[in-house]
């Protein structure tokens, strides 16, 4: 099964995904490819597969990606090979991709994908969170808010919309969604953190 979590920038998706992976140690995280420069502390193949813009365009041309998009001047996408290899091993995956990428995954894997949209409590709260991070200019924040509006309009295409206003409640809801989807598919052998102790 393929579990996709999408959210506007600043919604808390990275924190949620880290916790989901900790709770479900058997889930394989789908590492995205990008053409953006590597940041200090990032590792190729762990944080992203870092490709040159030319190599990324070549991957697009040769259908090596199941989804891709150009965001803020850089390419981001999911390599088909990584999904195929993981599914062939009988493993399940967790994706951290944007809304359009999630809908592409749904189109390619309609019976095996569960799409979860993580929504901020409000756009005002999202703006506050983005400003609090202190990493973006006001212009970048406005661009991110415009993109968030577009993404939130597409949230109705997802299986689930979870409002991230309380991390503990959000995690419980997402854990339940994943466990329910696995059970419904007849999959009972995936461990959770509480079972692996």
Query: Token digits for 73?
Result: 């001047």
Residue 197, pLDDT > 60, answer no
- Say if residue 177 is in the same domain as residue 100: yes
**Residue finishing a domain among 90, 124, 141:** 90
- Say if residue 16 is in the same domain as residue 77: no
Which pTM was predicted?
0.86
Q: Are 121 and 165 in contact (CB under 8 A)?
A: yes
- Say if residue 100 is in the same domain as residue 76: no
- Say if residue 12 is in the same domain as residue 76: no
Residue 3 has what pLDDT? Answer: 98
Query: 99: how many CB neighbours lie within 10 A of its CB?
Result: 23
Task: Flag whether 67 is in a domain.
Answer: yes
d(CA 3, CA 29): 10
**Residue finishing a domain among 47, 67, 90:** 90
Query: Token digits for 27?
Result: 């889930």
Report the chain's mean pLDDT, rounded to a whole number.
Answer: 91
| Paired strand residues for 95 | 4
DSSP string, 52-70: -HHHHHHHHHTT-EEEEEE
- Say if residue 84 is in the same domain as residue 98: no
- Say if residue 102 is in the same domain as residue 165: yes
Task: Give me the mean pLDDT over the 60-86 stretch.
Answer: 93
d(CA 118, CA 159): 11
> For 128-173, how does the pLDDT look when each residue is reduced to its tens digit (9 = 90+)?
888 887 777 888 888 888 988 999 999 999 999 999 999 999 999 9
Length of the chain: 197
CATH of residue 114's domain is: 3.40.50.300
Query: 157: how many CB neighbours lie within 10 A of its CB?
Result: 12
Task: Flag whether 197 is in a domain.
Answer: no
| Paired strand residues for 49 | 33
Number of domains in the chain: 2
- Say if residue 100 is in the same domain as residue 183: yes
CATH of residue 63's domain is: 3.30.63.10
* Domain extent for 61: 31-90
Residue 122, pLDDT > 90, answer no
Residue 51 — pLDDT band, cuts 50, 70, 90?
very high
Task: Flag whether 60 is in a domain.
Answer: yes
């Amino acid at each position: 099964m393929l579990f996709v979590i999408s959210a506007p920038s600043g919604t808390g998706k990275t924190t949620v995904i880290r916790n989901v992976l900790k709770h479900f140690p058997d889930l394989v995280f789908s590492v995205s490819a990008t053409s953006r420069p590597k940041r200090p502390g990032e590792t190729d193949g762990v944080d992203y597969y870092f490709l040159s813009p030319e190599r990324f365009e070549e991957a697009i041309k040769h259908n090596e990606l199941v989804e891709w998009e150009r965001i803020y001047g850089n390419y981001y996408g999911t390599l088909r090979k990584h999904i195929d290899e993981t599914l062939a091993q009988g493993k399940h995956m967790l994706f951290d991709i944007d809304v359009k990428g999630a809908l592409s995954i749904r189109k390619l894997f309609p019976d095996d994908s569960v799409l979860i949209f993580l929504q901020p409590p409000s756009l005002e709260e999202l703006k506050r969170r983005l400003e609090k991070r202190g990493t973006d200019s006001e212009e970048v924040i406005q661009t991110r808010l415009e993109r968030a509006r577009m993404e939130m309009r597409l949230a109705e295409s997802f299986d689930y919309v979870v409002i991230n206003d309380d991390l503990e409640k959000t995690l419980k809801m997402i854990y339940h969604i994943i466990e329910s989807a696995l059970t419904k598919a007849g999959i009972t052998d995936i461990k959770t953190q509480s079972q692996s102790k």
